Amino acid sequence: MDSTMIVLGRFQPFHRGHAAMVSAALEHLKANGNKRHLRICIGSSEAEPSLENPWDAKEREQMIRAWLDRDYGGEGIDTEIIQVPDLNDPPNYVRHAEQFHGTAGSIFTSDQATADLYEAAGWDAIMMEHENRSGWQGWRVRATMQMMSTITDNEAVRAVLVESIPEAVVNFLIDNGGLRRLAFMGHGGEPVG
* Nearest-5° Cα angle at 4, 108 to 16: 35
Length of the chain (residues): 193
In a domain, 89, yes or no: yes
Is pLDDT of 2 > 80? no
Distance CA(145)–CA(170), nearest Å, equals 10
65-100: per-residue pLDDT in tens? 999 998 887 676 778 999 999 999 999 999 999 999
CA dihedral 9, 10, 16, 17 (to 10 degrees): -40
- Examine the domain organization and report whether 62 and 98 are in the same domain: yes
Mean of the pLDDT values across residues 16-41? 87
According to the model, what pLDDT value does residue 45 have? 95
Work out whether the CA dihedral 182, 171, 141, 13 comes out positive or negative.
Answer: positive
Share of the chain above pLDDT 70, in %: 88
According to the model, what pLDDT value does residue 133 have? 64
Least confident range of 28-32, 63-67, 95-99, 114-118: 28-32
In a domain, 132, yes or no: no
In a domain, 189, yes or no: no
How many structural domains is the chain composed of?
A: 2
Q: Which of 82, 98, 127 is the last residue of a domain?
A: 127
Which amino acid, one-letter code, is at 13? P
- Examine the domain organization and report whether 142 and 111 are in the same domain: no
Is pLDDT of 192 > 50? no
According to the model, what pLDDT value does residue 1 have? 44
According to the model, what pLDDT value does residue 30 have? 85
Q: Which of 102, 127, 152 is the last residue of a domain?
A: 127
Mean of the pLDDT values across residues 2-31? 90
118-158: per-residue pLDDT in tens? 999 999 999 998 766 666 677 888 888 988 888 889 999 99
- Examine the domain organization and report whether 118 and 142 are in the same domain: no
- Examine the domain organization and report whether 119 and 171 are in the same domain: no
- Examine the domain organization and report whether 54 and 147 are in the same domain: no
- For residue 152, give its domain range: 138-184
**Cβ count within 10 A of residue 136:** 19
